[in-house]
Protein backbone atom coordinates (compact mmCIF):
# COMPACT_ATOMS: atom_id res chain seq x y z
CA UNK A 1 0.00 0.00 0.00
CA UNK A 2 1.29 3.46 -0.92
CA UNK A 3 1.72 5.99 1.86
CA UNK A 4 1.88 9.66 0.90
CA UNK A 5 3.34 12.38 3.10
CA UNK A 6 2.04 15.81 2.16
CA UNK A 7 4.15 18.74 3.35
CA UNK A 8 2.42 22.13 3.24
CA UNK A 9 4.43 25.30 3.74
CA UNK A 10 2.52 28.29 2.39
CA UNK A 11 1.43 31.03 4.77
CA UNK A 12 -1.36 32.08 2.37
CA UNK A 13 -3.92 29.50 3.47
CA UNK A 14 -6.71 28.83 0.96
CA UNK A 15 -5.27 31.50 -1.39
CA UNK A 16 -2.09 29.48 -1.80
CA UNK A 17 -1.19 28.33 -5.30
CA UNK A 18 1.17 25.65 -4.00
CA UNK A 19 -1.69 24.17 -1.92
CA UNK A 20 -3.89 24.03 -5.01
CA UNK A 21 -1.11 22.14 -6.78
CA UNK A 22 -0.52 19.69 -3.92
CA UNK A 23 -4.29 19.08 -3.74
CA UNK A 24 -4.20 18.02 -7.38
CA UNK A 25 -1.07 15.89 -6.99
CA UNK A 26 -2.48 14.04 -3.99
CA UNK A 27 -5.82 13.53 -5.76
CA UNK A 28 -4.01 12.07 -8.77
CA UNK A 29 -1.92 9.73 -6.62
CA UNK A 30 -4.80 8.50 -4.45
CA UNK A 31 -6.97 7.89 -7.52
CA UNK A 32 -4.22 5.74 -9.04
CA UNK A 33 -3.25 3.80 -5.92
CA UNK A 34 -6.15 1.95 -4.35
CA UNK A 35 -5.92 2.07 -0.58
CA UNK A 36 -3.30 4.82 -0.53
CA UNK A 37 -3.03 6.65 2.77
CA UNK A 38 -2.10 10.30 3.27
CA UNK A 39 -0.46 12.07 6.20
CA UNK A 40 -0.44 15.87 6.06
CA UNK A 41 2.09 17.97 7.93
CA UNK A 42 1.30 21.68 7.68
CA UNK A 43 4.43 23.65 8.49
CA UNK A 44 2.83 27.08 7.96
CA UNK A 45 2.34 27.78 11.69
CA UNK A 46 6.12 27.44 12.07
CA UNK A 47 8.78 24.88 12.86
CA UNK A 48 11.20 25.41 15.75
CA UNK A 49 14.68 26.20 14.54
CA UNK A 50 17.40 23.79 15.53
CA UNK A 51 19.89 25.03 18.10
CA UNK A 52 22.30 23.71 20.69
CA UNK A 53 19.48 22.33 22.83
CA UNK A 54 18.12 20.45 19.82
CA UNK A 55 21.52 18.95 19.03
CA UNK A 56 22.01 17.86 22.61
CA UNK A 57 18.51 16.35 22.71
CA UNK A 58 18.54 14.33 19.48
CA UNK A 59 22.02 12.91 20.04
CA UNK A 60 21.35 11.88 23.64
CA UNK A 61 20.08 8.27 23.91
CA UNK A 62 16.32 8.26 24.50
CA UNK A 63 16.61 6.65 27.93
CA UNK A 64 19.05 9.31 29.14
CA UNK A 65 17.18 12.44 28.02
CA UNK A 66 15.90 15.03 30.46
CA UNK A 67 12.17 15.90 30.20
CA UNK A 68 13.06 19.01 28.17
CA UNK A 69 15.29 16.98 25.86
CA UNK A 70 12.57 14.37 25.43
CA UNK A 71 10.11 17.06 24.34
CA UNK A 72 12.54 18.60 21.85
CA UNK A 73 13.63 15.24 20.44
CA UNK A 74 10.05 13.96 20.37
CA UNK A 75 8.95 16.69 17.97
CA UNK A 76 11.98 16.18 15.74
CA UNK A 77 11.58 12.39 15.81
CA UNK A 78 7.93 12.72 14.76
CA UNK A 79 8.97 14.69 11.65
CA UNK A 80 11.62 12.08 10.86
CA UNK A 81 9.26 9.14 11.41
CA UNK A 82 6.73 10.65 9.00
CA UNK A 83 9.33 10.82 6.25
CA UNK A 84 10.63 7.32 6.94
CA UNK A 85 7.10 5.90 6.75
CA UNK A 86 6.32 7.59 3.41
CA UNK A 87 6.64 6.07 -0.04
CA UNK A 88 5.91 9.39 -1.73
CA UNK A 89 6.53 12.92 -0.47
CA UNK A 90 4.41 15.71 -1.93
CA UNK A 91 6.08 18.97 -0.97
CA UNK A 92 4.69 22.47 -1.44
CA UNK A 93 7.44 24.92 -2.36
CA UNK A 94 6.26 28.51 -2.56
CA UNK A 95 9.29 30.65 -3.36
CA UNK A 96 9.73 33.43 -0.82
CA UNK A 97 12.38 36.05 -1.54
CA UNK A 98 14.05 33.73 -4.07
CA UNK A 99 14.41 30.86 -1.57
CA UNK A 100 12.60 28.32 0.58
CA UNK A 101 10.08 29.36 3.22
CA UNK A 102 11.85 29.45 6.59
CA UNK A 103 9.60 26.73 7.97
CA UNK A 104 10.55 24.36 5.13
CA UNK A 105 14.24 25.02 5.77
CA UNK A 106 13.70 24.28 9.47
CA UNK A 107 11.91 21.02 8.59
CA UNK A 108 14.93 20.00 6.49
CA UNK A 109 17.25 20.92 9.36
CA UNK A 110 15.30 18.60 11.69
CA UNK A 111 15.67 15.78 9.18
CA UNK A 112 19.41 16.24 8.59
CA UNK A 113 20.66 13.79 11.21
CA UNK A 114 23.73 11.65 10.77
CA UNK A 115 22.84 8.00 11.19
CA UNK A 116 19.17 8.65 10.43
CA UNK A 117 18.99 10.28 7.00
CA UNK A 118 22.64 10.17 5.92
CA UNK A 119 26.05 8.81 6.83
CA UNK A 120 29.55 9.85 5.88
CA UNK A 121 31.74 7.20 4.28
CA UNK A 122 35.26 7.15 2.91
CA UNK A 123 33.81 7.89 -0.53
CA UNK A 124 31.52 10.68 0.66
CA UNK A 125 28.02 11.08 2.11
CA UNK A 126 25.42 8.38 1.56
CA UNK A 127 21.69 9.05 1.90
CA UNK A 128 19.72 6.55 3.97
CA UNK A 129 16.16 7.32 2.80
CA UNK A 130 16.16 5.10 -0.28
CA UNK A 131 13.31 4.01 -2.56
CA UNK A 132 11.16 7.09 -2.05
CA UNK A 133 9.67 9.45 -4.59
CA UNK A 134 9.21 13.20 -4.14
CA UNK A 135 6.91 15.47 -6.11
CA UNK A 136 7.51 19.16 -5.47
CA UNK A 137 4.86 21.76 -6.30
CA UNK A 138 6.71 25.04 -6.83
CA UNK A 139 4.94 28.36 -7.06
CA UNK A 140 6.34 31.85 -7.40
CA UNK A 141 5.26 35.34 -8.30
CA UNK A 142 8.30 36.43 -10.29
CA UNK A 143 11.02 33.80 -9.97
CA UNK A 144 11.48 31.46 -12.93
CA UNK A 145 12.26 27.92 -11.78
CA UNK A 146 15.83 26.98 -12.66
CA UNK A 147 16.87 30.57 -13.31
CA UNK A 148 19.90 32.20 -11.70
CA UNK A 149 17.65 33.81 -9.08
CA UNK A 150 15.96 30.53 -8.08
CA UNK A 151 17.73 29.49 -4.89
CA UNK A 152 14.86 27.22 -3.81
CA UNK A 153 14.44 24.32 -6.23
CA UNK A 154 18.12 23.40 -6.56
CA UNK A 155 18.63 23.47 -2.80
CA UNK A 156 15.58 21.29 -2.13
CA UNK A 157 16.58 18.79 -4.84
CA UNK A 158 20.11 18.66 -3.39
CA UNK A 159 18.94 18.06 0.18
CA UNK A 160 16.46 15.36 -0.83
CA UNK A 161 19.26 13.67 -2.78
CA UNK A 162 21.59 14.04 0.20
CA UNK A 163 19.00 12.09 2.20
CA UNK A 164 18.85 9.42 -0.52
CA UNK A 165 15.67 10.60 -2.26
CA UNK A 166 16.77 10.90 -5.86
CA UNK A 167 13.44 10.32 -7.66
CA UNK A 168 12.38 13.98 -7.53
CA UNK A 169 9.94 15.67 -9.92
CA UNK A 170 8.92 19.32 -9.98
CA UNK A 171 5.70 20.85 -11.24
CA UNK A 172 5.91 24.62 -11.45
CA UNK A 173 3.48 27.50 -11.44
CA UNK A 174 6.30 30.01 -11.64
CA UNK A 175 6.23 33.69 -12.56
CA UNK A 176 2.53 33.85 -11.69
CA UNK A 177 2.58 37.63 -11.74
CA UNK A 178 2.78 37.71 -15.55
CA UNK A 179 -0.11 35.41 -16.53
CA UNK A 180 -1.60 33.66 -13.51
CA UNK A 181 -4.42 31.84 -15.27
CA UNK A 182 -2.29 30.36 -18.06
CA UNK A 183 0.53 29.53 -15.65
CA UNK A 184 -1.76 27.65 -13.28
CA UNK A 185 -3.40 25.81 -16.19
CA UNK A 186 0.04 24.73 -17.47
CA UNK A 187 1.06 23.49 -14.01
CA UNK A 188 -2.17 21.53 -13.62
CA UNK A 189 -1.54 19.91 -17.01
CA UNK A 190 1.96 18.93 -15.84
CA UNK A 191 0.39 17.24 -12.83
CA UNK A 192 -2.09 15.37 -15.01
CA UNK A 193 0.83 14.00 -17.04
CA UNK A 194 2.73 12.73 -14.00
CA UNK A 195 3.26 9.01 -13.84
CA UNK A 196 1.05 7.97 -10.99
Q: Delineate the domains of the chain, giving CATH numbers in brackets.
A: 3-192 (3.40.50.360)
φ and ψ of 4, to 5 deg: -110, 130
Is 18 a known ligand-binding residue? yes
| E-state strands within the chain | 3-8, 37-42, 88-94, 118-121, 124-127, 133-139, 167-173
Q: What is the pLDDT of residue 94?
A: 98
Q: What is the pLDDT of residue 195?
A: 77
The residue ranking higher by pLDDT, 1 or 42, is: 42
Is 140 a known ligand-binding residue? no
Task: Give the confidence band of 194 by pLDDT, cuts at 50, 70, 90.
Answer: confident
**Non-local CB neighbours of 50 within 8 Å, separated by 6+ positions:** 76, 106, 109, 110
- Pairwise CA distance, residues 190 & 135, whole Å: 11
Q: Does the pLDDT at position 53 exceed 90? A: yes
Give 61-117 pLDDT, tens digit per residue: 999 999 999 999 999 999 999 999 999 999 999 999 999 999 999 999 999 999 999
Average the pLDDT over 7-36 and give the result: 95
φ and ψ of 178, to 5 deg: -85, -40
Amino acid sequence: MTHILRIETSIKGEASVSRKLTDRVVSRLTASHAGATVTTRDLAPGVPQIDGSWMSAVYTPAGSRTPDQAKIAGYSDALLDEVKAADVLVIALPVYNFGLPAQLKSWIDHLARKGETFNYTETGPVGLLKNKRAIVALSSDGTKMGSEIDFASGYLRHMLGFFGITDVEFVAADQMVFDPEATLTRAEAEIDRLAA
